Amino acid sequence: MNIAVIGSGYVGLVAGACLAELGHDVVLVDNDPAKYAVLAAGVCPIHEAHLPELLDRHRGKRLSFANSLLEPVRASRAIFVAVGTPPTIEGEADLSYVESVAREIAAGVNDYKLVIGKSTVPVYTSEWVRRIMLLNGAPTELFDVASNPEFLREGTAVVDFLYPDRIVIGANSLAAANLLREIYRPMLDGSYYGRPDAIPGPSTAKVPPPLIATSTKSAELIKYASNAFLAMKISFINAVATICESVGADVDQVREGIGTDARIGSRFLFPGIGYGGSCFPKDLSAYRAVARECGYDFRLLEEVMRINDEQRQRFLRKVRGALWTLKGKRLGVLGLAFKDGTDDVRESPAIAVVEALVAEGCEIRAYDPAAAERAREILGDKVSYVASMYEAIEGADALLILTEWQEFKGLDLARVRKSLRYPIVIDGRNLLDAEVMRRHGFTYLSMGRPDIVSSGESLPATLADASEAGK
């Protein structure tokens, strides 16, 4: 099938590459000259597993790029809209890009088209897109509008697309629903998974994936409700971690007891310095705005967001508690991306923590396997960006772990202890084993687990005195 994907951000680029992988002929459209130039030059602009492989495999064959919309729309039967929906000052989703694209698509309707919303949008957006296209001259019998929300995690987006927990298609006509089924046919009939060159999936993947057919309104709400619920799980376990710290319990033990309950599950029950990225913060604000417009005060969402913001402050208090004063302290920071597996720093809690520490006069030496250049766009030269974990740690007064990159688990602790000025590690992601840290003589502070305080003479006197007073 000839398909146009409008927008080459995280969602559009992954969707375009994966649709080509399924056997469709895809044109990826973006009017940003810089993005178009990068893609046309054969460069993968984001850090995403398997994406460079798919772009190399299909570029110039099943995947092409365009910087104008009209011709790709005319040549395509299905048009995925994957443009940005950034938050307004009031927290609502800014749909101006969606509206602009809808007007342009209307001008290219020369035979039947299915316009498919892939961006995360509020309920009623599909109806508004249809209305805008009608007002701009698209014949009512020549197009349908559907919703096909994405459930992609940055870092595993390609695998999430090809091995999804479910495929949700929101359509108000049989023709639209059938066309969406046809687009995903290689996944629904299992034929893709039998290919020798198929991208490998997790052992737990549902093959073939279940299909959920709904109305457009229900599909739009499924996306918002899903993200809100996942964010709620993260904030919930962070609140539990706070109580664990107060009573001397271990959140890892509590988390295991909760997560093995089949009704709850262990996913997203990991305490830390809070969620971030391009989806959760934006989508929760937009979902709250939708509820408000419907006359419902969704106060639970406000509490989820409040707990998330508080986690960063709790972590900063741990840093202050460990070092007493922060001005002039050199801190080694591991992780700048909002999560592992991606170079995305949008709404990154790691960036927020670093900014706060810089504001208090700290010298930061930071390492991230993928996100340093994107972090530089926000932090500028306030931070020193180094090329390795150990370069960040050398001579630092303390080590801070802010992103859950798995390579940080492999730290040579003997080398770390020798490199640090004081044996202090503050782990915002609970990556390291507390008992192992104790055996290596570290003062080790984490989230929701009992503090481990070294009694070594190399500790600052203030910290040692405070530790003894608290026993």
Domain positions in the chain are: 2-214, 223-307, 309-470
Element (H or E) spanning 222, and its range? helix 216-247
Does pLDDT of 424 surpass 60?
A: yes
Does pLDDT of 193 surpass 90?
A: yes
Between 17-21, 89-93, 168-172, 210-214, the lowest mean confidence (pLDDT) is in 89-93
E-assigned strand segments in 362-442: 363-367, 384-385, 398-401, 424-427
Three-state SS at 135: helix
For residue 52, the model assigns a pLDDT of 96
Model pLDDT for residues 358-378, shown as the tens digit of each residue:
999 999 999 999 999 999 999
Q: Which residues contact 302 (CB under 8 A, 6 or more apart)?
A: 288
Query: Are 73 and 79 contacting, i.e. CB atoms less than 8 angstroms apart?
Result: yes
Query: Are 4 and 72 contacting, i.e. CB atoms less than 8 angstroms apart?
Result: yes
Global pTM value: 0.90
Q: Do 2-214 and 309-470 show the same overall fold? A: yes
Model pLDDT for residues 259-269, shown as the tens digit of each residue:
999 999 999 99
For residue 464, the model assigns a pLDDT of 41
Model pLDDT for residues 237-264, shown as the tens digit of each residue:
999 999 999 999 999 999 999 999 999 9
Average pLDDT of span 294-306: 94
Annotation: CATH topology of 2-214: Rossmann fold (3.40.50)
CATH number of 309-470: 3.40.50.720
For residue 455, the model assigns a pLDDT of 66
For residue 93, the model assigns a pLDDT of 87
Quickly state the pLDDT bin for 460 (edges 50, 70, 90).
very low
For residue 346, the model assigns a pLDDT of 94
Token pair for 412: 């040579």
Architecture of domain 223-307 in CATH? Orthogonal Bundle (1.10)
Between 196-200, 208-212, 276-280, the lowest mean confidence (pLDDT) is in 276-280
For residue 43, the model assigns a pLDDT of 92
Does pLDDT of 463 surpass 60?
A: no
* Average pLDDT value over all residues in the chain: 94
- The residue among 432, 433, 438 whose CA lies nearest residue 452 is 438
Between 36-45, 144-153, 330-339, the lowest mean confidence (pLDDT) is in 36-45
For residue 99, the model assigns a pLDDT of 96
For residue 459, the model assigns a pLDDT of 42
Query: Are 449 and 251 contacting, i.e. CB atoms less than 8 angstroms apart?
Result: yes
Beta bridge partners of 334: 367, 401
Does pLDDT of 29 surpass 50?
A: yes
Give the catalytic positions in this structure.
Answer: 279
For residue 122, the model assigns a pLDDT of 87
Model pLDDT for residues 155-182, shown as the tens digit of each residue:
999 999 999 999 999 999 999 999 999 9
Beta bridge partners of 87: 93
Does pLDDT of 466 surpass 70?
A: no
Model pLDDT for residues 6-16, shown as the tens digit of each residue:
999 999 999 99
Does pLDDT of 458 surpass 80?
A: no
Does pLDDT of 468 surpass 70?
A: no
For residue 211, the model assigns a pLDDT of 97
Quickly state the pLDDT bin for 87 (edges 50, 70, 90).
confident
For residue 129, the model assigns a pLDDT of 97
CB atoms within 10 A of CB 297: 10
For residue 91, the model assigns a pLDDT of 84
